[in-house]
Amino acid sequence: MLVELSISTWTARKLDKRVSAEVDLAKGTKTHAGNYNKNLLAGTGVLENITKYASNARAWHIKQTLPWSDSGLRLLPMTNFIAYKEQLNQLEQNYDALVAKFLIAYPELVSAAAFQLGSLFNRDEYPEAHKIATKFKFGYNFLPVPMAGDFRIDINEEAKNEIIESCRKVYDERLNNAMRDAWTRLHTCLTHLSERLAPTEQGERKIFRDTLVENTKELLELLKHFNLTHDPKLDQARQELQQALGAHTAETLRDMELARETVKNKVDDILSKFNW
């Protein structure tokens, strides 16, 4: 299935033409050299929380899906649909709650901005809360993957077959691109593991966070869904990494030198086996 996620927020950015002109004058430019865009809610921090949440939601969406088209559509394996949709619903609810909280606090935030911005503050630049509410959107669409043979058009068979063949090539190209993305994610994970588990030039262990193992385990689960063509080599690589990591946690890999060496050697072995 194809999925399209669209999250928008109010930027609270405003071009200040007066200050832009003042900067040009102060610097002696012979022409208009730049723009000064001010943050209408500078120093308040509440809107930044929503922006950061939206960014994290988009990153999660990218991680859970595979590339499909330049228009923003992503490929979602049906085996991952239920888990994806449940988490998406939770993200939407959390986002709406953050926006509702922001809109309630908006009048106070404007007052705080007046203090923070000093002479840059202009009350006329602040829309009413109900108008700002329309700037926040959390939307998504699910679409079936189009199949090359599904044409309901009245043209001769030769032309129709030509279109079908063209669509089939596009479909195969995008499917291969999605599979390359799965392989790339695995390769990136393996090389990162190998690098972090290797000792420094001085023979000391490197510092790494719990996310090193957590992200690896998350990818291992996703790869079960991402193997769209049932590639036996991709499944073999996934299983070997699963076995290499075993029951190790970030803590055991940090504390036990033998565990680090063993996992790293197995990871390097996987990296040497496949045509990345």
Output the tens digit of pLDDT for each of the chain's 276 residues: 999 999 999 999 988 788 778 887 888 887 888 888 888 998 888 899 999 999 999 999 999 999 998 888 999 999 999 999 999 999 999 999 999 999 999 999 999 988 888 889 999 999 999 999 999 999 999 998 876 555 555 556 666 577 677 677 888 899 999 999 999 999 999 999 999 999 998 888 899 999 999 999 999 999 999 999 999 999 999 999 999 999 999 999 999 999 999 999 999 999 999 888
Check residue 33 and report its DSSP letter: -
Q: Which two tokens stand for residue 152?
A: 């309901």
Do 138 and 6 sit in the same domain of this protein?
Answer: yes
Q: Which two tokens stand for residue 61?
A: 């969406």
Do 76 and 166 sit in the same domain of this protein?
Answer: no
Look at the chain and report how many structural domains it folds into. Answer: 2
This prediction's pTM: 0.82
Q: Is 192 left (phi over 0), alpha (psi -120 to 50) or beta?
A: alpha
149, part of any domain: no
End-to-end CA distance of the chain: give it in Å, rounded. 27
Final residue belonging to a domain, choices 86, 113, 143:
143
Do 107 and 181 sit in the same domain of this protein?
Answer: no
- Look at the block and give the residue holding tokens 């923070």: 116
pLDDT at position 156: 65
CB 266 within 8 Å of CB 222: no
Do 28 and 67 sit in the same domain of this protein?
Answer: yes
What is the β-pairing status of strands 37-39 and 66-67?
unpaired
Do 90 and 201 sit in the same domain of this protein?
Answer: no
Final residue belonging to a domain, choices 78, 110, 143:
143
Q: Domain limits at 37?
A: 2-143
Do 170 and 127 sit in the same domain of this protein?
Answer: no
* Nearest Cα residue to 171 out of 186, 142, 140, 150: 150
Do 70 and 103 sit in the same domain of this protein?
Answer: yes
Do 250 and 163 sit in the same domain of this protein?
Answer: yes
Do 139 and 162 sit in the same domain of this protein?
Answer: no
Final residue belonging to a domain, choices 114, 143, 172:
143
Q: Which two tokens stand for residue 231?
A: 């590639």
38, part of any domain: yes
Residue 49 CB partners (closer than 8 Å, separation 6+):
98
Do 88 and 14 sit in the same domain of this protein?
Answer: yes
